[in-house]
Structure 1
Amino acid sequence: MRRTIIGGVGLAVLALGGPWALAEGLSLGRVHTVEQTPSRDVAIVFGAAVLPDGTPSNYLRGRLDVAADLYESGRVRAILVSGDNSTHNYNEPDNMKRYLVDSRGVPTAKVVTDYAGFDTYDTCVRARRIFGVTSAALVTQDYHLTRALATCRMTGGMNVVGSPDTSRAHDRTWWYGWSREFGARLKMIYDVVTRRTPTLGVQEDGIRNALGAR
């Protein structure tokens, strides 16, 4: 019985610790403050909750502010906002773009929307295969950024760095997000190994046009 328990614990540690260590290794040296972020073509903002009135939640607003700072500082030339628009009554990408344009003054031609970024894996795959992104600065909260960097590197071969939003205190939401990473990183391995196909469709020229816009 004791051997069984020890063996089970060992397998659990391996199953959870292995993906965690892999993500940490693939993101090593790629996380920077806005001021230190190397120049990339595009900032990719991962979606998060939008309030019923269409305004971004505090965590999503933090991500968008970082992306706007990257654009204003000249470290990126366009912004891809990727999120959930699976139902008629819920639209993360359009509300993300509206905030960047109306509240932060980013030119509308420089913000491209991805309506099928249902999770981190989907956003990474679609950024490369649908929007043709090869060079990007990823923007999300610090606890999520490590997995985002690892996923984008393993799925699309993109040249990515990351700039985290650290404006939020370690409140209950932050700790909930951090605790979810154990399971989420295990799912990351499954998605990458199985090459799960997200919602795709035809290639879009939005990013190419945004990079060419003045």
Structure 2
Amino acid sequence: MRILVLVVGVCVLLATVVVVAANVVVVRRTDELVTSEASAVRPAQVAIVPGSLVRSDGTLGGVVRQRVDAGVALYRGGRVEKLLMSGDNGRPDYNEPDAMRDAALAAGVAPEDVFTDYAGFDTWHTMRRAHDVFGVTSAVVVTQAPAAARAVDLARAAGVDVQGFVAGDRGRAGREVLARVRGIGQATFRPDVLGGPAIPITGDGRVSWAEVPVR
């Protein structure tokens, strides 16, 4: 029994060390690349806006609404030339990218400057596809404070010259502690993601749309 307790204790200790170390590494190596001040954002090709919950009626949840609004603000301020709305469209009745796109269009963003990525199933997919499919070389990742470090770290691992722009403090900080462990594994081993035909971010965003929205 004592041996079992000892083994369990050692396992818990090792797991704790791994979690703490992963978080320290991710935060420290991205700290200078994350800002909440739009004036501190260097001009870039695109704002990458990762998806989050969209309600059943197609309206944006609070988290993704903050992200879209922040991305639009960077666009209006001339900090980015394009917006890349990347989210989950894994089933026919759920579509994050189109809801995000429609919100940006309603805010006055030019249609040709809004791109959609329907296979942004997680942050690594979003960043890797931004580089590989859309040819993004410089970007601002727009997300909440808890997720900013991991998003920037994964974008760097995908080959993007990236900054992080904090869109607010929504999100689950506790959940992010564990997500960074998975993220550092993805950044290290760089697993393949779903590919597709090239859609250059320098072109017309409408070619990336699955459907033209009804106006």
Give your verdict on TM over 0.5: yes
- Which residue matches 1:160? 162
Cα distance in 1, alignment partners of residues 111 and 74 from structure 2:
16
Does 2:198 match 1:195? Answer: no
130-139 or 181-190, which moves further after superposition?
181-190
Q: Is the 1:78–1:111 Cα contact (8 Å) retained in structure 2?
A: yes
Q: Is the 1:43–1:67 Cα contact (8 Å) retained in structure 2?
A: yes
Cα distance in 1, alignment partners of residues 119 and 204 from structure 2:
19
Q: Is the 2:26–2:184 Cα contact (8 Å) retained in structure 1?
A: no
Pairing 1:123-202 to 2, within 5 Å after superposition: 123-154=126-157, 156-166=158-168, 168=170, 174=171, 177-202=172-197
Residue 149 of structure 1: CA displacement? 0.4
Residue 118 of structure 1: CA displacement? 0.3
Residue 5 of structure 1: CA displacement? 5.3
Cα distance in 2, alignment partners of residues 120 and 142 from structure 1:
15
TM-score, with length taken from structure 1:
0.88
Q: Is the 2:85–2:97 Cα contact (8 Å) retained in structure 1?
A: yes
Cα distance in 2, alignment partners of residues 167 and 55 from structure 1:
20
Q: Is the 1:26–1:149 Cα contact (8 Å) retained in structure 2?
A: no
89-98 or 181-190, which moves further after superposition?
181-190
Q: Pick from 60, 71, 86 the counterpart of residue 67 of structure 1.
A: 71
1:109-135 alpha-carbon deviations (Å, 9 max, x no partner): 100000000000000100000100010
1:171-207 alpha-carbon deviations (Å, 9 max, x no partner): xxx3xx21111221111123233332111122212x1
Cα distance in 1, alignment partners of residues 32 and 164 from structure 2:
10
Q: 1:179 to 1:5 in 2, by over 3 A?
A: same
TM-score, with length taken from structure 2:
0.87
Pairing 1:68-147 to 2, within 5 Å after superposition: 68-102=72-106, 104-147=107-150
Residue 34 of structure 1: CA displacement? 1.7
Q: Is the 1:34–1:66 Cα contact (8 Å) retained in structure 2?
A: no
Q: 1:165 to 1:79 in 2, by over 3 A?
A: same
Does 2:36 match 1:41? Answer: no
Q: Is the 1:85–1:115 Cα contact (8 Å) retained in structure 2?
A: yes
Cα distance in 2, alignment partners of residues 14 and 129 from structure 1:
34
Cα distance in 2, alignment partners of residues 12 and 42 from structure 1:
37
SS of 2:202's partner is helix
State the superposition RMSD in angstroms: 1.7
SS of 2:11's partner is helix
Letter aligned with residue 197 of structure 1? D
Structure 2: which 5+ residue stretches go unaligned? 206-215
More strand by share: 2
